């Protein structure tokens, strides 16, 4: 094995993805029922649902399908929120929380069922997700989480001591929860799969078509891109952490944090047998969360919170190396092939938002790092809303756009977030904070 020298800065998933849909830029003026802005998992799953129901749909991405977080993701299907069902009831009220809890508990199985139904080739593995506690207070929080979600019907196992080490191959944790329904996917292939299915059912997909304005046109809306426009009754904004100032205030509803990742060289079979055996995935309770899984060829994908869109700046490489050494010391000499980053949209309560700021405008975003299963739920929810399902029957509550106070200031200091989180995480393993 060789040591990491100069890994290539390139999104690993682009090297192993199934082909994307044929798309070109919008060069005409179209009229459709719904136009979707943003070609990630949320936009593509929405396009699929709407096209399947017989609506005419156009989807525009500023770059290409899966260019954003969906094609850069860790691809872990981690089907639970950070709050207990009780906390969700307090936050949303009983009826809404109940719908959300029910949808959450089935979200992983729903995702894998979607993948099978649409015959999507995305290296899907439903081998479970282990959520590990990095200190005693994190253990107490995870125990509470397990208690609450188990009472609500989720199937969660508690692992202690050697059982954690055996389930993960990591000596770094003494307590963890295991969710058997969790799993992992090749996230770019999944996005491509949704997009191709949507296109087959009639959705028109456009790449290199940044939407620069949205204006009202009588009872309809017109979205404009440099060489064309789309007029529609409904506009769906699924731009998540890559949102611009296209719709007032939307970008201020979340903090665009950065997540960074590495792909190792393929691990020898002996190591694959002990590290994340059976292709289980792991993430932990640190603020600058460590997460890891295999790709289809036995490369370990390892990630954590970063500072900027370039991994090498502000200690990104060092944080990844330290994290890998902490979680899997057996891999200290393994070569790293690639490193990349992407943006996640973190909302104050770490839950996604569904907005309808004006009749006909719908936005679904803010997955706070839990987008693999939840973007599908959001795509189906937006489809339901457009097809006329009343708001009080939707999985997510429809909430007004609410800017985060002092957003610009917080945004400006975000690059310091990852180093500060790492320092706090280090302290928290020494003193129980
Ligand atoms: C490194 C990394 C690791 C992650 N790991 C996990 C994980 O393991 N598990 C998990 O559940 N989640 C994970 N996430 C989060 C998850 O990937 C996201 O929540 C999810 O992909 C969001 O999908 P989306 O479709 O809402 O947004 P995106 O995929 O970000 O898509 C938004 C799209 O909007 C387009 N766009 C923006 N503005 C415009 C415009 N004006 N006009 C046209 N197009 C526009 C962009 O080009 C982009 O393609 C991770 C994210 C990252 C970055």
Residue 127 phi/psi, 5-degree rounding, is: -110, 10
Q: Is residue 352 within 8 Å of 395, Cβ to Cβ?
A: no
CA distance 313 to 309: 9
CA-based torsion, 283, 289, 290, 296: positive or negative: positive
Q: Give 246 Cα–ligand 1 centroid separation in angstroms.
A: 17
Q: Is residue 254 within 8 Å of 345, Cβ to Cβ?
A: yes
* Mode of pairing for the β-strands spanning 228-237 and 220-225: antiparallel
108-147 residue pLDDT tens: 999 999 999 999 999 999 999 999 999 999 999 999 999 9
What is the residue whose two structure tokens read 């295999």?
294
Q: Give 47 Cα–ligand 1 centroid separation in angstroms.
A: 16
pTM as predicted: 0.97
142-200 residue pLDDT tens: 999 999 999 999 999 999 999 999 999 999 999 999 999 999 999 999 999 999 999 99
Q: Whose alpha carbon is nearest atom 31 of ligand 1?
A: 40
* Mode of pairing for the β-strands spanning 299-306 and 29-37: unpaired
What is the residue whose two structure tokens read 């429809």?
398
Q: Give me the domains of the chain, ranges plus CATH numbers.
A: 13-73+188-254+349-405 (3.50.50.60)
CA distance 307 to 220: 40
Give the residue from 324, 233, 242 showing the smallest Cα distance to 284.
Answer: 324
CA distance 235 to 36: 6
Q: Which of the two residues, 432 and 103, has the higher pLDDT score?
A: 103
- Best residue among 123, 344, 377 to mutate for probing ligand 1's pocket (most ligand atoms within 8 Å of CB) is 344
State CA 125 to chain mean position distance: 17
CA distance 337 to 3: 10
Which pLDDT band, with edges at 50, 70 and 90, does 422 fall under? Answer: confident
CA distance 178 to 181: 9
Helix-, strand-, coil-residue percentages of the chain, each rounded to 5: 40, 25, 35
What is the residue whose two structure tokens read 């200031």?
409
Is any ligand 1 atom within 6 A of the Cβ of residue 241?
yes
3-state SS assignment for residue 96: helix
């Amino acid at each position: 094995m060789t040591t990491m020298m100069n890994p290539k800065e390139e999104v690993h998933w682009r090297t192993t993805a199934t082909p994307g849909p044929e798309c070109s830029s919008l060069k005409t003026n179209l009229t459709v029922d719904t136009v979707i802005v943003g070609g990630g998992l949320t936009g593509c799953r929405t396009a699929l649902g709407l096209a399947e129901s017989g609506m005419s749909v156009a989807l525009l991405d500023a770059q290409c399908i899966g260019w954003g977080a969906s094609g850069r993701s860790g691809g872990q299907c981690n089907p639970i929120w950070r709050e207990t069902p009780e906390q969700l009831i307090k936050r949303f009220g009983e009826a809404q929380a109940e719908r959300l809890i029910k949808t959450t508990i089935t979200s992983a199985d729903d995702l894998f069922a979607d993948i099978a139904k649409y015959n999507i080739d995305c290296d899907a593995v439903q081998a479970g997700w282990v959520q590990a506690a990095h200190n005693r207070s994190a253990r107490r929080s995870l125990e509470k989480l397990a208690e609450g979600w188990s009472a609500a019907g989720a199937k969660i196992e508690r692992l202690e001591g050697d059982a954690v080490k055996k389930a993960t191959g990591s000596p770094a944790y003494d307590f963890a929860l295991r969710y058997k329904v969790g799993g992992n996917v090749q996230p770019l292939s999944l996005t491509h799969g949704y997009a191709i299915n949507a296109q087959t059912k009639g959705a028109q997909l456009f790449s290199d078509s940044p939407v620069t304005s949205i204006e009202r046109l009588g009872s309809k809306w017109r979205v404009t891109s440099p060489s064309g426009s789309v007029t529609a009754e409904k506009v769906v904004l699924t731009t998540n952490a890559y949102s611009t100032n296209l719709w007032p205030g939307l970008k201020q509803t979340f903090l665009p944090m950065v997540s960074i990742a590495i792909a190792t060289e393929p691990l020898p079979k002996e190591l694959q047998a002990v590290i994340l055996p059976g292709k289980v995935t792991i993430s932990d309770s640190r603020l600058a969360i460590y997460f890891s899984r295999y790709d289809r060829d036995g490369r370990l994908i390892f990630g954590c919170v970063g500072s900027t869109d370039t991994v090498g700046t502000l200690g990104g490489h060092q944080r990844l190396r330290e994290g890998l050494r902490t979680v899997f010391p057996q891999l200290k000499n393994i070569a790293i092939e690639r490193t990349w980053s992407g943006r996640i949209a973190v909302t104050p309560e770490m839950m996604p938002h569904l907005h309808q700021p004006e009749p006909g405008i719908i936005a679904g975003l803010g997955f706070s790092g839990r987008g693999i299963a939840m973007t599908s739920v959001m795509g189906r929810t937006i489809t339901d809303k457009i097809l006329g399902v009343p708001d009080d029957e939707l999985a997510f509550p429809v909430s007004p756009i609410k800017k985060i106070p002092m957003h610009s200031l917080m945004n400006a200091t975000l690059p310091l977030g990852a180093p500060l989180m790492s320092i706090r995480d280090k302290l928290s393993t020494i003193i129980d904070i």
